[in-house]
Structure 1
Amino acid sequence: MSAAPEAAGRAYGGESAADRDDRRRRQLLDAGLRVFGSTGYRAATVRGLCREAKIADRHFYQYFDKTEDLLLAVYAECIAHLTDSVSGAITEVETGSEIRAVAEQLLEPFFRVVEDPHLARVVWMEVLGVSPRVEQTYLTVMQQFGTLLLGYLRTFAGDVPSGPDLDVDLLATAAIGGISHTAMTWYQSGYVAERRIVVATIATMLANIVAPLTNTEFEGRES
Structure 2
Amino acid sequence: MTEVESAGRSYGGESAIDRDDRRRRQLLDAGLRVFGSVGYRAATVRGLCREAKVADRHFYRHFDKTEDLLLAVYGECIARLTNSAVEAMAEVDPHSDVGAVARQVLDSFFQVIEDPHLARVVWMEVLGVSPRVEQTYLTVMQQFGALLLGYLRTFAGDVPSGPDLDVDLLATAAIGGISHTAMTWYLSGYAAERRAVVATIATMLANIVAPLQA
Question: TM-score range with shorter-chain normalisation?
Answer: over 0.9
**Aligned partners of 1:189 and 1:195: how far apart in 2?**
12
Q: Matched residue of 2:94: which SS? A: coil
Relative to 1, partners in 2 of residues 1:52 and 1:157: Cα closer, same or farther, differing over 3 Å? Answer: same
Deviates most, 8-17 or 118-127: 8-17
1:72 aligns with 2:71: yes
Contact 1:47–1:57 (8 Å) recurs in 2: yes
Relative to 1, partners in 2 of residues 1:54 and 1:171: Cα closer, same or farther, differing over 3 Å? Answer: same
**Which deviations, in whole Å up to 9, do the C-alpha atoms of 1:151-206 show, x marking residues without a partner?**
11012212333531111001100100000000000000000000000000000000
Give ranges in structure 2 of 5+ residues lacking alignment: none
Q: Which residue type is aligned with residue 206 of structure 2? A: A
Relative to 1, partners in 2 of residues 1:134 and 1:44: Cα closer, same or farther, differing over 3 Å? Answer: same
* Displacement over 2 Å in runs of 4+: 4-9, 159-163
Relative to 1, partners in 2 of residues 1:5 and 1:100: Cα closer, same or farther, differing over 3 Å? Answer: farther
**Which deviations, in whole Å up to 9, do the C-alpha atoms of 1:32-78 show, x marking residues without a partner?**
00000000000000000000000000100000000000000000000
**Aligned partners of 2:148 and 2:4: how far apart in 1?**
40
Question: 2:174: which partner in 1?
Answer: 175
**Aligned partners of 1:161 and 1:44: how far apart in 2?**
49
**How many residue pairs are counted as aligned between the two chains?**
212
TM-score, normalised via structure 2 length? 0.96
Question: 1:55: which partner in 2?
Answer: 54
Structure-to-structure mapping, 1:1-80, within 5 angstroms: 7=6, 9-80=8-79
Q: Which residue type is aligned with residue 158 of structure 1? A: G
Relative to 1, partners in 2 of residues 1:15 and 1:202: Cα closer, same or farther, differing over 3 Å? Answer: same
**What is the CA-CA distance between 1:96 and the residue it aligns to?**
1.6
TM-score, normalised via structure 1 length? 0.92
Give ranges in structure 1 of 5+ residues lacking alignment: 219-223
Question: 1:221: which partner in 2?
Answer: none
**What is the CA-CA distance between 1:10 and the residue it aligns to?**
1.3
% identical equivalent positions: 83
Structure-to-structure mapping, 1:97-136, within 5 angstroms: 97-136=96-135
Question: 1:145: which partner in 2?
Answer: 144
